[in-house]
Structure formats: structure tokens, C-alpha cells
Amino acid sequence: MLSRFLPIKCKAYGMTDTGRARKHNEDNIRLNPDNTLFILADGMGGHQAGEIASKMAADIVENALTNQSKSSNSSMSDVEFPEVTEITAAIEETNLKINQANTDRGLREGKGMGTTIVGCWYLPEKKMSVIFNVGDSRAYSYYKQELTQISTDHSLLQLWKDKCFEGDKPAANVLTKALGPYPEVAPDVSLYPAKKGEKFLLCSDGLTTMVSDEKVLDLLIKYERSPEKIPQQLVIEANLAGGEDNISVILIEFR
């Protein structure tokens, strides 16, 4: 019975790779173990500076949440999970700054640089994780050798699936939400209880378009006792499949 009161710790491993087809890497990842905050951003725009957008997103969200976690917020003292509000505000602020950068370059709405974002902010004292995302970079849970997607893609393909495959299948890379193209965005933010032995996988679509969920699961099972090897193995697998996009992976282990 004592084990249920022991703290659940987490450790994370990450890797980002240019892939085999792109000339430069527009992805950015952040591993902040001191604040148990992990962020992955997949920039879009090519010559429109997608790598700048993804770096802005990772930097702004990390700085905002790190500062919030180190200071008390009296206006939220009666809220059980003020972190949800903090994350939402940080992502909205990020979106506005990237959008303003596009506007300053004379680009109209819907044009210019942008980025997806997916992340996990683990709250050790509450034994809860906050998962957040905009776009089609994904979060998965791996537990007892089962893999479950816990984020929802913001894409036309996902809408097509939600509508029971009505009409022609859309391209996989057309997003319905991203940070930057428009002045407003609504992120998905969800709470998940921490479980010992569970792993969260954060990844860009450079992995998921190249490697099936079944193959990802096979690799997670194979390297279950060596989690530090998993990001590299997933990147290798994506490159073996063609490496058509930048590939970024973060694995978070709860123990």
C-alpha cells in the first residue's frame, strides 16, 4: 500500500533529424527535466522560415511555463489545475507573435511561416501530466505493451476520418490548425494521471507518415528495457522508409 504514495519520477530522451529528403531541419525539441516540461515543434514554410517559427514556439512556451512554475499566481489559487490555463495562454501568445512576424513581413493571413506543437508538462506533486497540441504532431501513450494516440490531429485527413470517410480522401499534410498563419488558435489541452511504467511518445509527422503505429509499437516493445535507445531507433526506421521529412521524437518514461 505504501507504493501508491511514493512519487512518480520521469525521464526523457529526444532526437531530431533532418531526414533524407530535406536540406535543413525545421523541427525543434525541448527537454527541460528541471521543470518536467517536454516540447516538440514542427515548422512549416520552407523558405518562409518554418525553422524560425518552430524555434519561437519552443522558446516562448518553454519560457512562459518555466516562469509560471516558479511564481505563484494568486488569481488562480482556487483552481485545481491552473497549469491548463497557463499552457493555453502560452500557446495563444506564441501564435500571436508568429502571426505578427508574418504580418510584419507583409504576408496576408494564412501565409508565411507556421508550426505545429505538441508537448507534455508533468506535475509531480499532482501526479498528473498535461498534454497539449496544435497541428498534426502527435502524443501517444505506451502502457502494458499497448500504444494509444492521445492527441487529435488537426488536419483535413482527420476530419475526413471523423466524417466516416465521406468524399475523396484528402492529402495527409493539410492542417486545419497551426501556430502562425492566423491571429487566433484554440489548442487542445488535456490532463492524464501519471502511471508507473507508462511512456509518452511525442513525435512529428516525419515519423508517423513513414512508420506505421504497428511498427512503432514493435520497436517500443523491443527496446522496452532500453528506453534511451528508442528515439534513435525510430528515427532510423523513418529514414529507412524514405525519410521524406524532418523527424523528431521525444520519449518520456514514468517510473
208-237 pLDDT tens trace: 999 999 999 999 999 999 999 999 999 999
Report how far residue 67's alpha carbon sits from residue 184's, in angstroms, rounded to the nearest whole number.
23
Model confidence at 3, pLDDT cuts 50, 70, 90, reads very low
**Structural element, H or E, at residue 140:** strand 138-143
Looking at the domain assignment, is residue 168 inside a domain?
yes
Q: Is the pTM of this model over 0.85?
A: yes
Residue numbers of the domain that contains 91: 18-254
- CATH of residue 77's domain is 3.60.40.10
Looking at the domain assignment, is residue 250 inside a domain?
yes
Retrieve residue 113's grid coordinates: 511561416
**Secondary structure (3-state) at 241:** coil
Residue 7: its pLDDT value, please? 80
8 Å CB contact between 56 and 98: yes
Looking at the domain assignment, is residue 9 inside a domain?
no
pLDDT, tens digit (0-9, with 9 covering 90-100), for 82-107: 999 999 999 999 999 999 999 999 99
Looking at the domain assignment, is residue 231 inside a domain?
yes
Looking at the domain assignment, is residue 5 inside a domain?
no
Looking at the domain assignment, is residue 8 inside a domain?
no
Task: Please tell me the total count of domains within the chain.
Answer: 1
Looking at the domain assignment, is residue 4 inside a domain?
no
Looking at the domain assignment, is residue 7 inside a domain?
no
